[in-house]
A and B are shown apart, each in its own frame.
Chain A
Amino acid sequence: MSSIVARGIRAGYGEREVLRGVDLVVRAGELVALVGPNGAGKSTLLRVLAGLLGPSSGAVAIDGVDVAALDRRAVARHIAVVPQVFETLFPFTVREIAALGRTSRLGTFGTLGSDDARAVSRALDDIGAGDLADRRIDRISGGERQRAVLAMALAQEAGVLLLDEPTAHLDPAHQRATLERVVSLARVRGLAVVAVLHDLNLAAAFATRVVLLADGSVVRDGPPAHVITPELVARVFGPGLRVVAYDGRPFVIPEPPAAEPHARAV
């Protein structure tokens, strides 16, 4: 059971500051959705949480240990990242991809033990990719490839799972299936999960909490209905989006275009 705590994070690339003082706490079993307009700093925050980008001020701690004090190997045992890009030119099998999750636990001679093989099999089963294990990664569908990469992150057996737009490039059914798996894993394995999501409706349906970022700051952090409100959506994303309640959940619906005046017809 892990928790990840970020305090006063300021970070950016060179001169450009992207995050201007972000606080975030994610506890075991929670799925926190990071939402916000393009350029708000969601992916940058995820990189800082993963220890891949050092903050210019502030700190990230896992179970009270400062991530900056750990080497890459130690960080990878605590934090797993599901990459957004999972294209490879090489014909790895799904099991070999999942086994990459054990990189931080390789022995002296770069070998994997029986513990590692068990963790890999368990990760494949938990994500429903057991029957894909011997298939080549370049010969399966996008949804299956997504599961292979999720298995890789699960095989890390880290307490914190970070996902960068896990539903990008997936059809609605696979988007739902992916997030449902992640939610149940968070509960069963006691993972602290942070997911960058573009789709506010998916965030509302699956997240324990939603963190709305704009211009590198947290605008609001709370349960979906508390964050995805007509006022905040209009303020942060601009006009043209209607927020309605259905079944006690907020839904964001794009407004259809205004009717074109007939005078513009030829």
Chain B
Amino acid sequence: MRTITVFALLAVALVVSAAAGILVGAVAIAPGDVLSALLGANDTSGTIIRELRLPRVLGAALVGGALAAAGALLQGLLRNPLADPFVTGTSAGASLGAVIAVALGLEPLLVPLAAFVGAIGAIALVWRLARLGGRTTVLTVLLAGVVLTSFAGALVTLILVSSDRLALRLRAVLGWLQGGISVISWSELAVAAAVVAVGVVGALLLAPRIDAYAFGEETAAALGVDLDRTTAAVLATTALLTGAAVAIAGLVGFVGLVIPHALRFLLGATHRRLIVASVPAGAMALVLADLGARSALAPAELPVGVITGLVGAPFFLALLVRSRRVIV
């Protein structure tokens, strides 16, 4: 009963936030005109709604859903709520991959692929470093993530400063580094949606085996989980979701951290239910954050990463303080 209520509320909240995201913008458009624009009216409002606001809202929803699902996967694998793509350095790896692709002048539709390659390289490296002591602990994962994030950030800046191609789009790229959902084409959106769909299905298939990690890797193995294969599959799925999100929005922190953790209190710990709920909840959260980023200092626009950082970082610290006894 409780589960049904939570899912129903999530669905309503997602629809309401998406509607708000479409209705509110730099140019005031009456709700009736928005509706006719969505139905295909051929005027300025139609162009603004269909080519700017709708793709942006859908983009934000995809990014938020993907990051929240990826966060649920990482938290499950580390059996600790202090993990998400951002703090583990996965997002930074993805952004490095994406920036290299843009600097090399690759086809825009290849950017998500490059981001995926960067993400999987980063998470594999972090996991390898964290395993040096024999068992994977969240503390070493976070430390490795911090180091990797600053290293990847340095490389990204280096590429930005030295590349002519990027210099032209410097403002856009800087916004993207802070996390920003800039103008998205329908084709980019379609590619990202397909990748996120594959990632979410993969996450749902892996979920029951992630549950078995509850008491640690050794117990998971005793319960019949093939650790190497499962860990690799979970990390690859995380990288897929993170790559798609970063290709659209750059470095958006903490959505993946806050959403699964908050939902766990409402829905319990089993990962299949958690992931099913994390996707719409993350989508809603980022649509709202993007709406806040657009309206807070209107007509100026904040990168959405500023909003998620302002909300998420204190949340992370509070979590750190509360769980310091069990962080190792």
Contact = CB atoms under 8 A, between A and B. Distances in A.
A93 B2 CA distance: 15
Contacts of B79: 88-90
Interface residues of B, number: 32
B215 A86 contact: yes
Given A73-B226, A96-B269, A110-B209, A88 B221 contact: no
Chain B interface, >50% SS class: helix
Interface in B248-275: 264-265, 268-270, 272
B20 to A, nearest CB: 32
Contact of B323 (A86, A89, A104): A89
Contact of B212 (A50, A90, A103): A103
B216 A81 contact: no
Interface string B181-221: 00000000000000000000000111111011011101111
A75 interface: yes
A75 B225 CA distance: 10
B30 interface: no
Contacts of B227: 72
Interface in A222-265: none
Contacts of B212: 100, 103
Contacts of A93: 268
A50 B214 contact: no
Nearest to A75: B224
Interface of A: 50, 52, 71-73, 75-77, 79-81, 83, 85-93, 96-97, 100-101, 103-106, 109-112, 136, 149, 152, 156
Given A83-B216, A96-B269, A110-B204, 11 more contacts: A76-B223, A85-B216, A90-B264, A91-B264, A91-B268, A92-B214, A100-B212, A103-B220, A103-B223, A105-B224, A149-B215
5 contacts: A72-B226, A85-B219, A87-B326, A96-B268, A103-B224
